[in-house]
């Protein structure tokens, strides 16, 4: 480490296990911090060691509840007011990213508002993984390091040596990502077309492409309720796919997602640890494989801290 500024890494409560893996990979200790919670639910994070003149990385995924986002904002503010030289928000999962445009009248652009809040809190840089839409990077007026989970997914998929492989996009929006995976794995692409009746409820799905006899892997940026995913998997199986797996970066897994996955035609669901999985023993996790993004983040953090180029770290 040849940077004149000390390196300090802190974690919000929702991403502590992920942060602990990052500091272990870097061979340093996690910064001491805690959170005071008042009886009405208000909370106050506190950094319990000096950050004066330091380069501070604060690790926190902003999946619901909104407390996770607000805790990150308060921690950024705390670091800035304690004279940190640079404050970098490491958001393995960037919440509100689905609100990246006005898709109907009188709705917010939530992703832009979150970018503004980070800026207002004093954030100097953001590091995140597989944004719902690449162009969200343009909502920020400071650098964004956009890390791709393909750096861990593609070697894993390649090493499986699956015959008659095909990559599927669960919807039209995922075609670009599916195409990038298919190009790397040298296999055909299948596009699923869905009609939504309302948010989180899928109407019907049809698949475009050669499905019969193929071992299909559906790739996506997140799994929320798993409604689209499981419906697409079942349709592909009905159309003659030999097997169907899924590969998605962010395991939001809300509502009955675990149950839907367990009951579906999916053989395996490969996700990362940007969002921690439930520890509830009642939830069936037998089909779920978790690959860690911690070493990838540790590598990028090290390079950013030491002003080294990071372009070689990306497989897109």
Catalytic positions are 194
Strands 33-37 and 125-129: unpaired
Integer angstrom CA distances of residue 151 from 167, 181, 205: 17, 11, 29
Per DSSP, helices labelled H in the chain are: 16-26, 67-81, 110-121, 150-159, 175-185, 227-238, 257-263, 294-305
280 Cβ contact list (under 8 Å, min separation 6): none
Specify burial of residue 239 (Cβ count, 10 A radius: 0-12, 13-18, 19+).
Answer: middle
Backbone angles phi, psi at 4, to 5 degrees: -70, -20
User: Distance (Å, rounded) from C-alpha 145 to C-alpha 129?
Assistant: 8
């Amino acid at each position: 480490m040849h940077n004149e500024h000390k390196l300090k890494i802190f974690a919000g409560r929702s991403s502590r296990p992920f942060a602990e893996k990052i500091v272990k990979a870097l061979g340093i200790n996690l910064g001491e911090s805690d959170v005071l919670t008042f009886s009405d639910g208000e909370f106050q994070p506190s950094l319990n060691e000096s950050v004066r003149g330091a380069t501070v990385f604060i690790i926190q995924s902003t999946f619901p509840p909104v407390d996770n986002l607000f805790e990150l904002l308060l921690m950024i503010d705390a670091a800035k007011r304690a004279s940190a030289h640079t404050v970098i928000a490491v958001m393995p999962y960037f919440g509100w990213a689905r609100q990246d445009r006005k898709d109907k009248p009188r709705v917010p652009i939530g992703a832009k508002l979150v970018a503004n809040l980070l800026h207002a809190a004093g954030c100097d840089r953001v590091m995140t993984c597989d944004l719902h839409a690449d162009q969200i990077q343009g909502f920020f007026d400071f650098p964004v390091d956009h890390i791709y989970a393909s750096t861990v997914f593609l070697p894993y998929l390649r090493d499986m040596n699956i015959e008659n492989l095909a990559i599927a996009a669960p919807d039209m929006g995922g075609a670009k990502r599916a195409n990038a995976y298919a190009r790397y794995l040298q296999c055909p692409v299948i596009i699923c077309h869905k009609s939504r009746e309302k948010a989180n409820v899928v109407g019907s799905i049809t698949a475009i492409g050669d499905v019969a006899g193929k071992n299909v892997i559906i790739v996506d940026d997140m799994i929320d309720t798993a409604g689209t995913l499981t419906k697409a998997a079942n349709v592909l199986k009905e159309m003659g796919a030999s097997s169907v797996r899924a590969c998605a970066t962010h395991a939001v897994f809300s509502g009955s997602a675990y149950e839907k996955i367990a009951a579906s035609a999916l053989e395996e669901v490969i996700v990362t640890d940007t969002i921690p999985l439930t520890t509830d023993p009642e939830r069936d996790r037998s089909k779920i494989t978790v690959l860690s993004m911690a070493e990838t983040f540790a590598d990028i953090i090290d390079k950013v801290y030491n002003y080294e180029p990071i372009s070689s770290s990306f497989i897109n």
